[in-house]
Structure 1
Amino acid sequence: MQIKHLTDHHRTAYHFQAPSNWMNDPNGLVQWKGNYHLFYQYHPHGPLFGKIHWGHAMSADLLHWTHLPIALSPTDGGPDEDGCWSGCMVNNQGTATIVYSGNAHGRQLPCVATSQDEDLRTWHKYAGNPVVADWPAELDIVEFRDHCVWQEGEMWYQVIGSGFKGVGGAALLYRSPDLLQWEYLQPLCVGNKDESGIMWECPDFFPLGDKHVLTVSSIPDGLVYYFIGTYQNATFTPESQGLLDGGKHFYAPQSIRDDQGRRLMFGWLREGRDDTDLLQAGWAGAMSLPRILSLQSGDTLAIEPAPEIEQLRLRRRTVEPRSITDQQTVVEQLFTNALEITLDIDSHTATGCGLVLRDSAYPEESISISLRETGLSIEANNGRTRQEPEQYPLAPGRHTLRIFLDGSVLEVFIDARACLTERFYHSAPRRLSLDLFARDGEAILHQLDVWEMATIWQ
């Protein structure tokens, strides 16, 4: 990691980031021979989006990551000469196999690469790439890229992100006996352009409980939607849908089932600043915390941070239960912006309640997390420009929030069933304090714990 980044307070202490330069989508997420491998979209020559490679990191514990050499690079004159775009990895009878989108001349087509290495350092591209020469001629589609691949019996299946002109986003279903010869079957799912966008990127399809889940990243609204339903005989029937994250900074997630039987997911956390700032910083992008997905009663999605994160907890501050009226400072003398906060609060008779993080060295800066009659709202104010609040619909009453503040990243898990992600760019932390507040009535604090968090970087 470049030394100039180590003192950048906008970088993260316990979220994964590339050593430098641009990163975006998680790719090829896998647990292989005892280690987690995280590949990701990476531009090694600058902090802006460019000719994309596959970065690579490995971890034994989901916390501490070893940066490994670049896994895939564009090949001059090849079907990926303009970039090795997003894809996934599968185990094909002991051979690690990547299916990714090769970008050339403005079109993206499926390509394959394999590795025989113990730690997946060296990859060999299939000489016959692309393995799908074109999208089906009979389809009037807007785009065609990104892959989710799985096996059923002796057949392989994949969905590719797409969209039908004038209709909406789509996930197109293919099958193959060998990962090389692919037959188009039908759309696995088609959306409504007014509800979930005109194009679906980065589809992810997987069993969860007794159902199946499809997640898609939507253009142009930049949100991630999920569909829960039944899957049988290559047919998916959606029964419910929702937002995977209420914020526009979480995008392009990918998941795996790990050896503990958990559905484990990472997503790309997009920046919220302009190119001039990125060029000055020398880096862009972070990964979300690893999230665990499960199915609740009533076929609703549950989302929680992986429990491994708790191993990073250091000094703890606890605030006793109490009644809250107006605004009161409850925690002071925090000298880091790497924190975990658990807040169990009931709005009771108040029209709004929540917490505010402030820094005495920069009184014009604040982060407010509010429970209002209209829902949960996150508002970051840097004293210069006021960001549009991130909001999530939520009924008044008692709620538990797990709040992860890390550099310029804020992830808020809501009642273990939703998440809201924000990016913000405040001054370097000096002396943070935490206030609780209630407006126009009384709120009841049931629990408040604050932990300073350890860094995962050496």
Structure 2
Amino acid sequence: MIHKHAGDHHRTAYHFQSPTNWMNDPNGLVQWQGDYHLFYQYNPDGPLFGKIHWGHAVSYDLLHWTHLPVALSPTPGGPDEDGCWSGCLVNDKGIPTLVYSGNAHGRQLPCLATSFDGLLTWQKHIQNPVIQHWPEGLDVVEFRDHCVWQEDDIWYQIIGSGIKDVGGTVLLYRSRDLLSWEFIQPLCIGNKAETGTMWECPDFFPLGDKYVLTISSIPDGLVYYFTGTYQNFTFTPETRGVLDASTHFYAPQSMQDDQGRRLLFGWLREGRGDQEIQTAGWAGAMSLPRILSLTSGHQLKIEPASELQQLRRKHHTIPAQPITGDNMVITDLSTNALEIVLEIDAGSTSMWGLRIQDSSYPEEIITVTVQKSQLVSEFKFQGINSRLYEAEMCELQQLKTLSRRLHIFLDGSVMEIFVDEQMCLTERFYFSMPQHLSLALFANEGEAQLYSLDIWEMDTIWHS
């Protein structure tokens, strides 16, 4: 089947995208009977946010995806008549059950849907919404998005919210049957000056000997993570960090797969306006699958899933060399689906980085710069710096040397950068028409030492 947008070079080759139109948050991540299932927020009627459904895709290898029929659609006159918003999937004694936010008349309340045919079709529960009201006694500002787990015979869930004039929070509930829920208390309350006024898309899970809470912050537009302890229905943060330093990465959800890995996807927002999106006919992508673990200092360690190595095709290796000024290292990359692994010691320079450019459009440049404790990603179009993001790297583990490892995935209009497996930065960029990409390394006011540079041209995950 030829893809509707096959001629659009801004589409991705190896990041998951919906067939067309608008997509956002990953939902219902699960490995069911060996296959990975990815549900996601989807508007089948157009490329902008609208009346949201749940899209659905399945993969046997975490790489190649098959689109399945829409899983959830709004029910006219029902508690989700204005949209089936974000949620999760749980295994209720062998019955796959979706817990999602039904959107109606400007408010969202928890709803259930179950499947009896291998996750293909879903029946909404007659008791929806299963929580009828926001919690009494708390001046909450919003109430949506769900993370549900089971301890012994008791179900627990947290719902994203915020307490007016205090900060974002996640609210903890419990139930014996997924239908009747008792509000316990806030699991964790933030400071609005530090992590925003409302916490969307919360995710809570054990990792190593700690617990991890991730939240998507309003109005910051960033994803924060906390690691700490959980007891007496209270999560006590001990460390805090940013899951990705860019506002292009948002609303992640994680799952534990059959290998015991904590696997995470995030929604990659567009970096262009509504008119351009309307013209393109689509919006949004999923991040690459990221594997989470803890460092010795209980910070998150973030790595791309090893399965991605199966997509590597033509390989380019650049020999070790000193870098002074601008060093053009390769000029014949005829695809914008690339994986780049780079190790450099800063040596005597205060700033080094790499530059990706197209010989046909020399004014369009992607630059990734490392300067002391900062990583800066920049895309220039016709001399205009249209986007500039900085990632403070001071919270990374202190290195004994000045060496840094950048693992970069370039794909259509997406760039994901993993730094020393402890910091991520995601960029969206829109080359006019990439034909012959070149890659240069640079070092300012000194000399850096290139240890290794490997570049792979990547295969597509879509079968024509």
User: What TM-score comes out, normalization by structure 1 length?
Assistant: 0.98
**1:184 and 2:189 matched:** no
CA contact (8 A) 2:148 2:158 kept: yes
CA contact (8 A) 1:101 1:108 kept: yes
- The offset of 1:387, in angstroms, is 2.2
- The offset of 1:2, in angstroms, is 6.8
CA contact (8 A) 2:3 2:19 kept: no
Alignment of 1:154-165 (within 5 A): 154-165=153-164
- Superposed CA offset, 1:358-412 (max 9, x none): 1100010110011112411100112264223221123692100000000000000
Secondary structure of 1:388 counterpart: strand
Q: Which structure 2 segments of 5+ residues have no match?
A: 395-400
Distance 2:422 2:53 in 1: 34
Distance 1:424 1:165 in 2: 36
Distance 1:165 1:450 in 2: 49
1:111 aligns with: 111
**1:450 and 2:449 matched:** no
CA contact (8 A) 1:2 1:19 kept: no
CA RMSD, Structure 1 to Structure 2 (Å)? 1.0
- Superposed CA offset, 1:327-372 (max 9, x none): 0110111000000000101111111101100110001011001111
- Superposed CA offset, 1:12-61 (max 9, x none): 00000000000000000000011000000000000000000000000000
1:32 aligns with: 32
Letter in 2 for 1:17: Q
Distance 1:2 1:64 in 2: 15
CA contact (8 A) 1:165 1:198 kept: yes
Secondary structure of 1:244 counterpart: strand
- Superposed CA offset, 1:251-292 (max 9, x none): 000000000000000000000111000100000000000000
- The offset of 1:148, in angstroms, is 0.1
2:6 aligns with: 6
Alignment of 1:49-68 (within 5 A): 49-68=49-68
Residues 387 and 58 from structure 1, CA distance in 2 versus in 1: closer, same or farther, beyond 3 angstroms?
Answer: same
Distance 2:67 2:404 in 1: 38
**1:329 and 2:334 matched:** no
- Superposed CA offset, 1:101-143 (max 9, x none): 000000000000000112x111000001000001112110110
CA contact (8 A) 1:411 1:421 kept: yes
1:92 aligns with: 92
1:434 aligns with: 439
CA contact (8 A) 1:22 1:46 kept: yes
Letter in 1 for 2:364: E
- The offset of 1:153, in angstroms, is 0.4
Letter in 2 for 1:314: R
Percent sequence identity is 65
Residues 2 and 100 from structure 1, CA distance in 2 versus in 1: closer, same or farther, beyond 3 angstroms?
Answer: farther
- The offset of 1:245, in angstroms, is 0.4
CA contact (8 A) 2:303 2:418 kept: yes
Secondary structure of 2:349 counterpart: coil
- Superposed CA offset, 1:192-219 (max 9, x none): 0010000000000000001000000000
Q: Which structure 1 segments of 5+ residues have no match?
A: none
Distance 2:291 2:382 in 1: 35
1:259 aligns with: 258
1:400 aligns with: 405
Letter in 2 for 1:414: V
Distance 2:44 2:102 in 1: 17
1:17 aligns with: 17
Distance 1:305 1:26 in 2: 17
Residues 32 and 300 from structure 1, CA distance in 2 versus in 1: closer, same or farther, beyond 3 angstroms?
Answer: same
CA contact (8 A) 1:352 1:373 kept: yes
Secondary structure of 2:386 counterpart: coil
Distance 1:302 1:369 in 2: 21
Distance 2:192 2:3 in 1: 45
Alignment of 1:50-449 (within 5 A): 50-118=50-118, 120-383=119-382, 385-394=384-393, 397-449=402-454
Between stretches 345-354 and 251-260, larger displacement belongs to: 345-354
Secondary structure of 2:362 counterpart: coil
CA contact (8 A) 2:326 2:441 kept: yes
Distance 1:238 1:271 in 2: 32
- Superposed CA offset, 1:133-164 (max 9, x none): 01112110110000000000000000000000
Distance 2:333 2:189 in 1: 49
Distance 2:4 2:98 in 1: 33
Distance 1:26 1:277 in 2: 23
CA contact (8 A) 1:346 1:399 kept: yes
Between stretches 421-430 and 380-389, larger displacement belongs to: 380-389
Residues 315 and 253 from structure 1, CA distance in 2 versus in 1: closer, same or farther, beyond 3 angstroms?
Answer: same
Q: How many residues align?
A: 457
Secondary structure of 2:135 counterpart: coil
